[in-house]
Copies of this chain bind each other. A is one copy, B any other.
Amino acid sequence: MTGRFSDAARRAVYEAIHRRRDLREGYTGEPLAHDTLARLLLAAHHAASVGFMQPWNFVLIRGAELREALWKAVDKERRSAAVIFEGEQAERFPAIKIEAIREASLVICVTVDPTRRGPHVLGRSSDEDTDLYSTACAVQNLWLAARAEGLGMGWVTFYRKPDVRRLLELPPHINPIGLICLGPVAAFPDQPVLEQLGWGNRIPLGDLVYYERWGHAEPEPDGPWKGFPEAVRGAAFRSEGEP
């Protein structure tokens, strides 16, 4: 398979992308088979990384006591964050769930080591944040592979990093960018959970596209982008069986 995938294979990739959800509850807790989890981590490890830096580590967590301590750290931060929101958002806030930390099959703390591969990393001299981008790509790979395996995943960022460093004995320079909850779930909702909760709506794609320069929301009438805004408005993911 060197070029374009078959129609069925292309469809599968889009299915994973469009059906991926960030799930914070509904986990069954059933343990994952070792080979499934190893395959998922290998998928994460095959993300792009700037200068082939591979700055990630995966701390795999199943112990109940440690997870309870992580849950407390997350709950503390959730309650702290709740104070910040006001009005309508404050009323909706308590619906945001964090039970996955306790209930998922496992929690993976994904970390970034900014010192990986020494002081000078190709492409990172221009943008120090590239270690973060690379690791986020690894998480997205993990997410899509998990979706294909029928496993739910949630990326929790509600914590103070010093709390997570203390609980997981991370060195001070190691940056925990997420507590990833992973495992079988009862169901995958059709919509993102925050959309269901009324926390926000998806922005129309066309509002996010500019032509040649920032703010140019309409292309030149007779240039190469002619007809593209219509293509953007018409773009939609249709699942198997839908018209």
What residues of chain A have their CB less than 8 Å away from a CB belonging to chain B?
1-5, 8-20, 22, 31, 34-35, 37-39, 41-43, 45-48, 50-52, 54, 56-63, 66, 77, 81, 84-85, 89, 93, 96, 111, 117, 120, 122-127, 129-130, 132-137, 139-141, 143-145, 147-150, 155, 157-161, 168-171, 174, 177-178, 187-188, 192, 194-195, 199-203, 205, 208-215, 223-225, 227-228, 230-232, 234-237, 239-240
Contact = CB atoms under 8 A, between A and B. Distances in A.
B132 A1 contact: no
Contact of A37 (B135, B171, B228): B228
Contact of A59 (B41, B145, B150, B210): B210
Contacts of A127: 157, 161, 177
Contact of A148 (B13, B174, B213): B13
Contact of A231 (B37, B227, B237): B37
Contacts of A143: 48, 137
B199 A145 contact: no
Contact of A122 (B96, B171, B178): B96
A168 B41 CA distance: 38
A12 B43 CA distance: 12
B17 A239 contact: no
A52 B43 CA distance: 25
A57 B129 contact: no
B59 A235 contact: no
A58 B208 contact: yes
27 contacts: A5-B150, A9-B148, A13-B13, A14-B145, A31-B224, A35-B234, A37-B231, A38-B232, A38-B235, A42-B235, A42-B236, A42-B237, A46-B237, A52-B202, A58-B208, A63-B212, A66-B213, A81-B122, A81-B123, A111-B214, A126-B157, A132-B136, A133-B157, A137-B139, A137-B143, A168-B214, A171-B214
